[in-house]
Amino acid sequence: MEVFVQQVINGITIGSLYGLIAIGYTMVFGIIGMVNFAHGDVFMVSAFFALIFLLVLTSWLGIASMTLALILVMVVAMVLTGLLVWAIERVAYAPLRGSFRLAPLISAIGMSIVLSNFIQVAQGPRNKPIPPVTRDVYTLWEGANGYPVNLSLKQIIIWVVTALLLAAFWYVVQKTALGRAQRACEQDRKMASLLGVNVDRTISLTFVIGAALAAVAGTLFLMYYGVVVFSDGFTPGVKAFTAAVLGGIGSLPGAVLGGLLIGLIETLWGQYVSADYQNVAAFSILVIVLIFMPQGLLGRPEVEKV
């Protein structure tokens, strides 16, 4: 029982990160019908932004307060990752609207390769460990066999930040002019543009918002695991995509739900079935969902238009 609760806590923590990344996939897919293959690597680059600014703040500027440093780092990572994705969208995706079906996907695959190899060249191929941001761990209760159920401060931070961000994000999508324009573009791009919505700008901003959420995930990832390496984008990227598909691609609550489910399935599988085959389980879910339930849990069935 204690083991199970502990793994659920861990699973929700990882799942929140997957959910944050998955929103980027699902929003972009909803609005232009494209799988942004480079999104996982954007997440990895954001973790590097966070790493570099954490070092700047702590070792160069000498900021001692970890809370302050963490907030600053998160904001800087969000801004820079947003800028990066804005540039990527302008250079690699925007010119391809109206090109043949696979062109944006191939371009995104190219971009993903560019990002991970650029980081490898610029920052070196080795693991980048940071000292733990906080070591605080709270023991919730101890089981009869002495097995404690722990909740670390890091996990609480991840839960709180994710919840706050999702609330803010939900507000943007539901209540602001930008969110309205986004939803309009999602339903019918041509009609939206006829009604005066700046479609190009809306699409760019959609990419930027997705990137900002991925940047938060990147910062939290760095804080939680305390290490990042240039190849870290691939597996979380595929898992977050799985989350988006599982929740129903195009559906925002679906992305979060899918993320949590993937996180839980992954940790519980690792605990009870086989730690070696943890990633195999996650990838298999992707395959199974796409084959048997392509519309996902909360998505609408897709109709192919000619």
Residues forming contacts to another protein in the complex (CB under 8 A) are 34-35, 45, 48-49, 51-53, 55-56, 59-60, 80, 83-84, 87, 91-92, 95-96, 99-107, 109-115, 117-124, 126, 128-131, 234, 238, 241-242, 245, 274, 276-277, 279-280, 283-284, 286-287, 290-291, 294, 302, 304, 306
Least distance from C-beta 145 to another protein, angstroms?
Answer: 30
DSSP SS3 for 152: strand
Least distance from C-beta 255 to another protein, angstroms?
Answer: 15
Least distance from C-beta 109 to another protein, angstroms?
Answer: 7
Question: Residue ranges of the alpha helices (H) in the chain?
Answer: 2-32, 39-55, 66-88, 103-123, 153-175, 177-187, 189-194, 199-225, 234-247, 252-272, 278-292
The answer to whether 296 and 29 have CB atoms below 8 angstroms apart is: no
8-state DSSP, 196: T
Tokens 């939206």: give the residue: 192
Residue of 291, 303, 267, 282 whose CA lies nearest to 14: 267
Closer residue to another protein, CB minimum distance, 8 or 238: 238
Closer residue to another protein, CB minimum distance, 58 or 150: 58
Closer residue to another protein, CB minimum distance, 166 or 244: 244
Closer residue to another protein, CB minimum distance, 192 or 289: 289
Closer residue to another protein, CB minimum distance, 3 or 227: 227
Closer residue to another protein, CB minimum distance, 198 or 274: 274
CA 3 to CA 233: how far, in whole Å? 29
8-state DSSP, 198: -
8-state DSSP, 128: E
Least distance from C-beta 55 to another protein, angstroms?
Answer: 5
Least distance from C-beta 164 to another protein, angstroms?
Answer: 25
Closer residue to another protein, CB minimum distance, 120 or 134: 120
Provide φ and ψ at 17, rounded to 5°: -65, -45
Least distance from C-beta 137 to another protein, angstroms?
Answer: 23
Least distance from C-beta 234 to another protein, angstroms?
Answer: 7
Q: Interhelix angle for 39-55 vs 2-32, to 10°?
A: 110
Element (H, E) at 137: strand 137-142
DSSP SS3 for 303: coil
